[in-house]
A and B are shown apart, each in its own frame.
Chain A
């Protein structure tokens, strides 16, 4: 079941098409990566999903019904990339205020604050002013205020910026836990290694258009170049490496990167090595990183004139 279904969404500005006919679906409980270079239209897309902008055309289905910003935004938690808090306000009051604006009663808000502040070990910050916090501390407070109202859909735009590795880990674990409990998460970033680590599904947009979507596993599979890496105990005679099954892409110390030729299978590579009695130490398939796919696809679409 899809929590969010985006159909042919368009948002045009006077000078450019910020979002141009984008469709994708986000299954309930998944961690969904929204990727794209700067200015690709990610923020505009997120602003339409959070009800800040109305799409010029297209439809958003939230939880199976037509998206109604007035009611549905209370089920959404949005942590924008550009985010801030009132500097002069106390941390506790600030979080309570944001929670109340999401529709929580004062009592509910206080209970949730107690729970999360204890969990993140920041109860001592309650009466501190926001301006006294470091950037990383501020991010933690911001994260709590985004999830305090138990949103069904959590949208995190660059959630780890400004966080040290320990706090990044803390937030990351929390994202996984929320996902396990059924929260659907949209994760927007340019940091590709985080995408592979966190997301099950991704959509890649560039210049307002969707250029790719699918599960991380599938995408890596789709964009592989049939590359394999094979480790050897001793370097063989180069003459022994001539074969129609594969070509050597790269040769390192005690290892080869090879590309399987069309009509050949992976086992043909192994057979070749075994046949020549070259000791194999390891053998693995080389899948492209999401980063590679990202760069390749963005470059590819940029070559196409629109």
Chain B
């Protein structure tokens, strides 16, 4: 036991000390934070203000285009042809030409600018003009605007799930399920490969040969697997910690003033920010995070242990020729890839048979179950399925570790001979 501990320690320390570890551990949450903060900051700082000259020949829209954000409209009375040449000298960024037209057949509206018209301005302008034309048409048809507004209905279905009537959203469940399934998928492959490379290093450099005269091959394999699991857990805990810190940081810096500002002023930017923060709060509240995080840890460890030993076995089979790796890893990466394909289905339809079975069979369960769990237990996933899935994963990794250890034991000391998967599987049966 003491020896396994020494091996775990070495595997852990050599990896944690590496620069790559520090970089990925710190950079990924920073990247995550950047994807949230940068859009907010960009919205806050805003683009430089834009002045747009409007020539409205029919005077239909005279002074009805309200300024918004940093876009200012100025109705000018001038010949379009002369203004076309001079609008830039006059300090305008763009020129909107609304020719005299029949409101039943509106056409011929042109926007002149130096560069391409940006998308938000285009949609804003189109919407405004559409509304204005519709108003005109309604007035012409004798429809009362006020009455119409009263008649409009706005329906929002609230989904309450489970006995405690938690307000959930399948959108949120979809996103959380998708994200956690995907993270498990990445973890299985990245850390599995890391185990494999470690085993290959020991075999190629003939370290294994020296090591096995001090420790049992099983201890060497398990020490490596557990050491790398420790690295993964450390990384995960740092990430969760940083993400929580960043999340609350964002809440504190933006929420107070931003939400108030949004409510009192109806300022466009702040409204968007407030909307986003409301969404974040909604997401945080609508999912059972304790369940998700504890199950995530379970499936992360279980799935990792299930696959890591298989990757170790493959690593032990690789000989001098690195081209062997492809052929040998394929039988292991294939079920992981199948898992992610089933997951795409499971996030959309968590109750479908393929999702249910995919979340029980240990080859795919870590990825698929994580995709189903955000839909709630027992709402989305019946308790028996969760327990069966967990039990089969535990049995699964005990079996895969046992079988892999048999292959590993022989493979790690075998040089110069190309081993096929078929031969390796025969080794499992040997005593």
Where the two chains meet, the residues of A that have a C-beta atom closer than 8 Å to any C-beta of B are: 47, 50-52, 73, 76, 78-80, 82-89, 97-98, 100-102, 142, 145
Contacts and interface: CB of A to CB of B under 8 A. Distances in A.
Nearest to A69: B216
Contact of B214 (A73, A87, A142): A73
A50 B209 contact: no
B237 interface: no
A87 B213 contact: no
B207 A84 contact: yes
Given A76-B213, A82-B209, A87-B205, 16 more contacts: A47-B413, A50-B213, A52-B213, A52-B413, A78-B213, A80-B206, A82-B206, A83-B206, A83-B210, A85-B205, A85-B207, A85-B210, A86-B201, A86-B207, A89-B14, A102-B214
B207 A101 contact: no
Contacts of A97: 6, 10
Interface of B: 3, 6-7, 10, 14, 201, 205-207, 209-215, 413, 415
Given A52-B213, A100-B6, A101-B3, A84 B206 contact: yes
A153 to B, nearest CB: 11
B209 A83 contact: yes
A211 to B, nearest CB: 26
Nearest to A77: B213
B130 to A, nearest CB: 66
Contact of A52 (B3, B206, B207, B212): B212
- Nearest first, the 5 A-B pairs at minimum CB distance are A84-B205, A84-B206, A78-B213, A101-B214, A82-B206
Contacts of A79: 210
A27 B84 CA distance: 108
Contacts of A47: 413
B220 to A, nearest CB: 10
B312 to A, nearest CB: 17
Given A85-B205, A97-B6, A80 B210 contact: yes
Nearest to A146: B210
A51 B214 CA distance: 9
Contacts of B10: 97
Contacts of B214: 73, 98, 101-102
A101 B211 contact: yes
Given A97-B6, A97-B10, A100-B6, A82 B415 contact: yes
Contacts of B209: 80, 82-84
A179 to B, nearest CB: 20
Nearest to A145: B210
B210 A84 contact: yes
